[in-house]
């Protein structure tokens, strides 16, 4: 996983180009904490063109660390080819009405980054 910096902006970002592990969730949690100290709500930007999945341990850690903070998230931009994961993600996004989820195609990274911080 590679972190994408949004310095001074209400957003975090990362490239999910390998299997996400607990260490990755811990890194993201630190960045989220820093951002919510500065901003009321933040956006999340994710590039998933070569996503390899998430370990069960990381998934559990993700839920533990981020579910209590859902009210701080306003938008999620996901950049990846159209796939079943996109459709599932959009449906799951509707379970959390305070978070707007939007899909972008590869090549639309700049638009996705702009949208997530607006």
What would the pLDDT profile of 55-92 be if each residue is shown by its tens digit?
999 999 999 999 899 899 999 999 988 765 666 666 66
What would the pLDDT profile of 23-57 be if each residue is shown by its tens digit?
999 999 999 999 999 999 999 999 988 888 899 99
Which pTM does this prediction carry?
Answer: 0.87
116/62 Cα distance (integer angstroms) = 21
What residues contact 33, with CB distance under 8 A and at least 6 apart? none
3/96 Cα distance (integer angstroms) = 24
DSSP 14-44: EE--S-B-HHHHHHHHHHHHHHHHH-SSEEE
18/52 Cα distance (integer angstroms) = 5
Domains belonging to the chain, first-starting first, are 2-113 (3.30.750)
83/49 Cα distance (integer angstroms) = 10
Strand pairing class (2-4; 11-15): antiparallel
């Amino acid at each position: 996983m590679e972190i994408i910096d949004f310095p001074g902006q209400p957003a975090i970002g990362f490239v999910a180009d390998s299997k996400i592990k607990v260490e990755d969730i811990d890194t993201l949690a630190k960045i989220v904490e820093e951002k919510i100290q500065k901003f009321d709500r933040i956006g999340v930007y994710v590039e998933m063109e070569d996503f390899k999945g998430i370990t069960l341990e990381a998934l559990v850690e993700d839920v533990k660390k981020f579910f209590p903070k859902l009210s701080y998230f306003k938008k999620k931009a996901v950049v990846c080819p159209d796939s079943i994961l996109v459709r599932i993600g959009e449906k799951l996004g509707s379970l959390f009405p305070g978070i707007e989820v939007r899909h972008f195609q590869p090549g639309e990274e700049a638009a996705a980054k702009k949208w997530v911080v607006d």
